[in-house]
Structures are given as structure tokens and as C-alpha cells.
Chains A and B, each alone.
Chain A
Amino acid sequence: MENYVGKRLDGRYEIIEIIDVGGMAVVYKAFDNIDNRIVAVKILKDEYLTNEEFRRRFKNESKAIAVLSHPNIVKVFDVSYGDRLQYIVMEYVEGITLKEYISQQGTIEIREAIYFVTQILRALQHAHDKGIVHRDIKPQNIMLIADGTIKVTDFGIARFARSDTKTMTDSAIGSVHYISPEQAKGSVMDAKTDIYSVGVVLYEMLTGKLPFQSENAVSVALMQLQSEPEKPRNINPDIPVGLEQIVMRAMQKNPNDRYQSASEMLMDIDEYKKNPNIKFDYSYYVDRQPTKYIPSAQEIAREYQKQVSRPAQQPTQPPRAPRQNRSEQEQKAAAARKRTLAVLAALLAALAIFAAVLVHLYSKSSNRVDVPYLVGKNLQAEVLGQEAYEDFELVYEYDEESKDEAGTIVRQEPEKGKVEKGSTITLYIATGEDEKRVPDVYGFEYSSAQSILKAENFEVRIEKEANNDREAGTVIRTSPARDEKVAEGATITMYVATADDQEPVEVPDLMGMTIDEAKDALEEAGLALDSSRTEYRASSQTRGQIIGYESLGESVLPGTKIAVYVSTGQLPTAATTTTAPSTTTTTAPSTTESTTVTTTAPSTTADSDVTVSTSQTSTTAADDEPVLDAEG
């Protein structure tokens, strides 16, 4: 692999100097002479250049990464998959890595640590929403700019090949400190893997130490699997309990015990920010409650507290007084007639007992309550924490199919009837339509843009639009616009700059020409003959000659179709009409009818040094892989 310093890629990126040499790529600082800015260019080692599978995966991944557009993620501007060269053009970030900052500072002040981790989590949520897991979150991959902005870098690109590339533990050690147990084992990795790594980063910032430290890199990996980290507060007692709980939850060995998403962790951090004295109710026994769309952690904590601290339900006793009074009265009345009424008294006493039993039975049944009808209510606003529903054990299930607004209760079991107090009611809650952000494809070549949008499960419509400032075939804008939130599966219209030069052209003089000649003349001028509207008119001129045409003497937009009027060669008589008998081709004086002019097919070049030419035809149906090899 050659050193590209001093060279220019695709005539556009002028390589200035080496920034970093890694296992898979060399990163250079370069100048983009089209957008006039400094960029970072990551040139992949030609290790895998000839491997089809690698190139395909790289292509797909880099397209996916290019869609990531977030202030806390290093932006990918361009990706090139040429035959000889594969490179990625990224935002050039002027700053230091979080790793360097931590080693400079020792411990990071709590507020600052929160500020950093919040940004990291936002970046991750953005990526996770797009189905991208970073898998290598560590302070070396997190850039810190002078103003405190965090930029996460090195998402996915070329990562999948990493397991085939030999690395020394010392290079890998950086990762080993932050890898999740499931990564160490080689199990499935998902968003929760990133959460674990963020937990370690937060741990490190707050305590100044890594949770698992050893001289021996290998021991670290083992510790990730088996050891419990020392509690942060043991190292630094200034760390508030709630914050420690957040770190520990993110670092749970079992992914199911961690925060299930970056947003979830952010929620807790928000709660903590509002109240630094907060104590979360986390215990790591089996927690069956689904965590998606959970009412705020506060709500859950409150709910949990209530259920735990509620005293055992007692059947409500009817007031005792009447019975007592009655028996007293009975006794007083019977006092005079003691003997004879002793039996009566006994009988009455028996009755009283019987009554008591009845009463007791009655009170037992008053332990039953009506099932409240909650369908249609909003869980958060109208049900949770409401006293009216305290008698029930609410269980939540989520209904993803429902079109109702998120948080609405769409179904419940049981729906009605009487149940024992404390019974379970299962509530089915609508998760709402998934919303997604429209990817930013402005400026992208239209077929790549289309693939990107389709990859997000959007429907795509293409509208051509005249635009002088944009390169033909590129996307001018989309509707809805980039970064807007739309429902999943929505249709997005891409406005693509048309290829034609938009300067109006003069319609050439076609008088006296034959249809064929006129067709040629029009095409030469960038126009076209609209043969479906050719009119035949009576005229003394030679048959087949053009005696008139649309927009005579005018200037029209290129591509416009011009209709011509052709002489029949005969002046009008009573028997003939001005128009030729029907529009069938056989009777017309012209020879062949041709279809409308088509623009040229897309040309492709395999040479990465030549700037790409773009397709001018309208959409190709299901084209996920642009034909073009080199994309400028």
C-alpha cells in the first residue's frame, strides 16, 4: 500500500499528511478542493480489494453510515469504492480524544462527565435508531472539541473485517477494557453492547480508574466476564448514589439487566440532573415489566413503592354497633322473662350468630370490585398513580399494530366484571406509529439517495426539477425535508436536478424541411419532434414539406417537443380535409415514424481517477446497487 501524501484522489481530495495508521486503514488529513474544506480521508488497506463479499459489505455499511447525521457523530461525507482504491471522507475534527482528556485530567468533574455522556448517548440513540451498533465505544473513539462538544467516530466502517485482522493485545487492549461480556464471548451484539461500553466510560470518568484493570490484557477480558467491578462510591465517595446506580445498571453483565436503549439511560440521567439525590429502585432480580415506552422512571418507582408499601387488604367490616344494640336490647327485654326467654335468647343468639355469618359472607363479597374500563385512556396521564385504580395490579403489554397514539390503552383483560381486589388487569398499550427522521441525502447522486431512503423503509418518488446550481442527477431537496420526523414507511419525494442545460433554445427554422430533416434539426438544437401531433394541412407547397410549426420564432426549454405542420400538397377542395386521413403512418408522406428521443444511457467508468458521469434517465425500478463504481 502506498503512501498517498502529496497525491490527489479523484481530482478532488489533496492528501496533506498522515494522521493515523491503523490495522485496517491509514487516515490522512486532506483538502477537499470542491467543497473547499479540510477533511479526513481514511484509505482502506487494499487487503480486501478483490474480495467481492468484502466490497459489498463495505459498500452497504458505508452507505448506512453515511446516513448518520448528528452533531455528536463525525460525519461521513463521501465514500469511494473504486477498483484500485477504497476510501472514506469524513469530517475533520480538531480536538483531542476523550482518552487523552481523561489521562490529562485524572477524574472528570461530575457535571462535565454528565455533559459528555449525555452527548455520547444521543449519538448512540441516533445510530441505534438507524439500526447501527457502534460496537467499539471507547474514549479513543470519542473526540472532544475545545467547546466541549463530543463527536463519536469510527462507526462500523471496516469493523466487520476486524475479526480477520491480526492485532496485538496492546492495540486491542484499548478495546478490551470497554468490551461487554457478550463481546468477549463472541455472542450476539446489539444496542445494549454499546450501553455497556458507555457505562465503562462513565465509570472511568467519574472514578479516574477503569473498572477492570490489570497489567495483563488478557486478565481484563476475563474480568469482564466474571468479576464485579468495585463500586464507584468506594473509589470516590463524592459520587451521588443515583449516579452510581446509573453506571452499575449500564454495566450489568446480563444485557437484559441493563438499560435497553440509550434513551432509557438518558431518561435516568435527566431524572438525576433534576434531582441529584435521587435513588433509583433497581434490583437485579427478574424484572418482567417490558421496558419499551415505559412511563418515566419516576412513575415506575412510585408505582413500585406503592405496591410494595400497601398494607394487606382487609375485608371492610360493617359497623358493629347495630348488632350489639340489638342484642343488648334483646337482653334487656328478656331480663324480666329470664327463664322462659332463656331459650328464646339462645335462639336469638343463634340467629345473631347466623346473622354474623351472613354479614361476614357479605363483607367477603364486598372484597370484590368492578373492573374499571380503561380502554381509550392514556396510560401515563389518566391511569398511572390514580387512586381509583390502586386496587388493581396493572400489567402492561404493548401493541405495536395499533394505530392509536402512543400510550393509549387499546385493550384490557379482563374488560369488565367483578374481581377480587388486587387482581391483575392486563393493559395493552399502543406504541404509536414509529417515527423516523428523513435522512439527509441532499447533494447525493439520485440512485444512491434512493437506496438510502429505501433502506430506511421509506417509499421514494422522484421529481425532476430544473436547477442550474446543482449537478445533474443529484438530489436538490426532499419533501419532507431532511431530518424531519415522519412516520415509518412514508413516501418521500426527491427533487432531482435534471441533466439538461436550462438555457432556452431558439426553435430552429424548419420551413420547407421534410419531417426527417426537421427531426434532425430539432435534435441538434436539443429539442425534439413531437410526431404524435404532426398535422397535415392543405397547402400549395410540395407534399411532405413543413409549412409551419409550433413556437415558431420562439425560444423554448431544451427537451421541448415541437409539433410540425406538413403540407398535403393539395389546396383544399370540397372532398378533402385539411388533416391527413387518420394518423396512421402508412398514408403519411414521411417514411418512418420514430419514437421520442431518449437520452443516453448512463455511462460507467471503473477508473477511480475519472469523475463520475451521471445517469439522465428517470428512476430505475428496484435498483439498490448503483452501477457506478466510483462516486465523486
Chain B
Amino acid sequence: MKTVGNSDVGRVRQNNEDAFRFGRIDDSVCWAVVCDGMGGASGGQIASTIAADMVSKKIEKCYNKSMSESSIENMLLSAITTANVTVYDRAIADEFLNGMGTTIVAAVIKNNHANIAHVGDSRAYLLKDGTITQLTKDHSLVQEMFDQGQLSRAELKNNNLRNIITRALGVSEGVEIEFNNTDLKKGDVLLLCSDGLTVEVSDEEILKLFGSTKFEQFPAKLIEQANKAGGKDNITVVAVQG
């Protein structure tokens, strides 16, 4: 199993408010986290850093090899809820940090199987056998409108409401986390990313780049592509190969 990750401020923003972490626990277990911060006067950099740090530390501390899939999910649940409360407390304590928050997408991969938890519109994709599948559903206003048939796929893309998300860490005491899971066979790639990538690069283009790039270069290549297409937001990509 290999993991590689990269983040870039993009071509428009001043600061990078994304945060990411990844690590390996042993030969068959690794983990990754991507967070996209928002709000507050300091723009969520603090929120995303707190969340990424807390969740990674929690995973590293609590993981043990006898964990079943449901234990892993519980661990993620616990880690993310703690992160939520921490960010929230900080946000209300300092008026300057009022309103800050962050998305999160976190994965633990064990024995070729990945458990993914997410809140917000950062995503997890599975690249396998020449196909790309989005594993997580965005917690966003436009996604819900699309689900209810009120928006077409084309209207999704440049919608001026696309920035409105329905869930985030740090904006209230409680948070609802969504779980997904997938097999990750040898050669398959699990991709975690912030929306800075997906607003600029289509799923097809991601797949195409995957086919023509060495794995180690993949995140960097994707970032390059996103910047070429405009780089309007911070871009973060972490790739895990089975």
C-alpha cells in the first residue's frame, strides 16, 4: 500500500485553508484525512488544522489490529465528533473566530478495505479498472436540490449556490457524519480531495490523468491541472493505492 498527498493554495487565494494528514500504521493499515476550512475572520485555517490534527492523532492512538470494521467506524465517529466540539468551542470563545468551520473526509484502510467518514463537500473517489466512482455524497445545498430533481447536472456545475454546504465541523455542538466503505484491491486507488480540485477538474479528467501518471506524481499532477483550469480555491489531494 502506498500513500501520497499534496496541497496547494491555488492561483486566486492568499491563504491555504485546507489541511491534510496521512500515515501508515503497519504494512496493511494506513489512514488519510483532508479538511477544507471556512468562515471566521481567519478563514478557517485554524478550524481545518485543528480537525486534521485531532482526527489523525486519535486514529494513531486508538487503532489496534483487532478492530473490526464497526470498531473502525466507531473510532472515526469518536475522532470526528471530538474534533467538531473542539473547533466549535474555539469558534465561540473568540469573536474573531466566530463562524469558522471545516469539512472533513477521513479514511482508514485495513486489509484492502477502506472505511470512509465525511462531513461536508470534500470527497472520496475510487479509481478502479479504468473507472472512477464518487464514493461520498456532498453535503451541499445544490446536491440536495439535484437529488430532488430541481437541478440538472449542468446546473450543478456553475451554480452560484454551490458554496453552501449543509454540514460542517465546528458550526454547532452536534454533527452528523456519513459513512461509506469500499474494497481497495491491489492497484485500486482511493482518492481524497477538497472541492478545490473538483470544481476545476472533471471526474473524467481525473481518470485520464490517473492513467497517464506515475502514482507518486498523481496528486501533484492533479493540482497542476486544477491550477491550469483556474485554481480558484485551495486544492488538496491524498491518494492511497492498494
Contact = CB atoms under 8 A, between A and B. Distances in A.
Real binding pair: yes
Interface of A: 1, 3, 18, 21-23, 26, 45-51, 53-54, 162-172, 176, 179, 183-186, 217-218, 221-222, 225-226
Contacts of B99: 21-23, 171
Nearest to B160: A163
Contact of B144 (A18, A54, A162, A218): A218
Contacts of A18: 95-96
Given A221-B145, A222-B148, A168 B232 contact: no
A179 B160 CA distance: 12
B150 A222 contact: yes
A48 B160 contact: no
B98 interface: yes
B168 interface: yes
A51 B230 CA distance: 11
Interface residues of B, number: 41
Given A21-B99, A221-B141, A166 B166 contact: no
A218 B167 CA distance: 11
22 contacts: A1-B43, A3-B96, A18-B96, A21-B96, A21-B98, A22-B99, A45-B41, A47-B13, A54-B12, A163-B163, A164-B12, A164-B163, A166-B38, A168-B101, A168-B166, A170-B171, A170-B172, A172-B164, A183-B160, A184-B161, A186-B158, A218-B141
| A contact patch SS | helix
Interface in B72-124: 95-96, 98-99, 101, 103, 121
Contact of A169 (B15, B141, B151, B158): B141
Contacts of A51: 11-14
Contacts of B15: 46-47
Identify the interface centre among B98, B162, B164: most chain A CB within 10 Å of its CB: B164
Contacts of A164: 12, 163, 232-233
A54 B164 CA distance: 20
Contacts of A26: 41, 96
A624 to B, nearest CB: 24
Contact of B159 (A171, A176, A185): A185
B163 A166 contact: yes
B23 interface: no
Nearest to B95: A18
A172 B14 contact: no
Interface in B127-180: 141, 144-145, 148, 150-151, 155, 158-166, 168, 171-172
Nearest to A135: B160
Contact of B145 (A21, A46, A222): A222
Given A46-B14, A184-B145, A168 B39 contact: yes
A47 B39 CA distance: 11
Contact of A47 (B43, B103, B141, B148): B43
B173 to A, nearest CB: 13
Contacts of B95: 18, 21
B155 A186 contact: yes
Q: Which DSSP category, helix, strand, loop or mixed, fits chain B's interface?
A: loop
Interface of B: 11-15, 36, 38-44, 95-96, 98-99, 101, 103, 121, 141, 144-145, 148, 150-151, 155, 158-166, 168, 171-172, 232-233
A162 B39 CA distance: 12
A18 B41 CA distance: 11
Nearest to A45: B43
B163 A165 contact: yes
A49 B14 contact: yes
Contacts of A166: 36, 38-39, 44, 103, 121, 163, 165, 168
Contact of B150 (A170, A171, A183, A225): A225
Contacts of B43: 1, 45, 47
Going nearest first, the 9 A-B pairs with the smallest beta carbon separation are A166-B38, A186-B159, A218-B144, A172-B164, A163-B160, A51-B12, A21-B98, A46-B14, A26-B41
B145 A218 contact: yes
Contacts of B103: 166
Contacts of B11: 51
Contacts of A168: 38-39, 101, 164-166, 168, 171
A214 to B, nearest CB: 12
B160 to A, nearest CB: 4
A26 B12 CA distance: 20
Nearest to B101: A168
A221 B161 contact: yes
Contacts of B148: 222
B12 A48 contact: yes
A46 B158 CA distance: 24
A221 B145 CA distance: 8
B96 A48 contact: no
Contacts of B158: 186
Nearest to B231: A51
A226 B150 contact: yes
Given A1-B43, A186-B159, 14 more contacts: A21-B40, A21-B96, A47-B14, A48-B12, A51-B14, A53-B12, A164-B233, A166-B163, A168-B101, A184-B145, A218-B144, A221-B141, A222-B148, A225-B150
A169 B166 contact: yes
Nearest to B121: A166
Nearest to A52: B12
Nearest to A218: B144
Nearest to B148: A222
A22 B96 CA distance: 10
A179 B142 CA distance: 14
Nearest to B96: A3
Contacts of A171: 39, 99
A16 B103 CA distance: 33
A61 to B, nearest CB: 16
A172 B11 CA distance: 26
Contacts of B166: 168-169, 217-218
A264 B108 CA distance: 60
B155 A48 contact: no
B160 A186 contact: yes
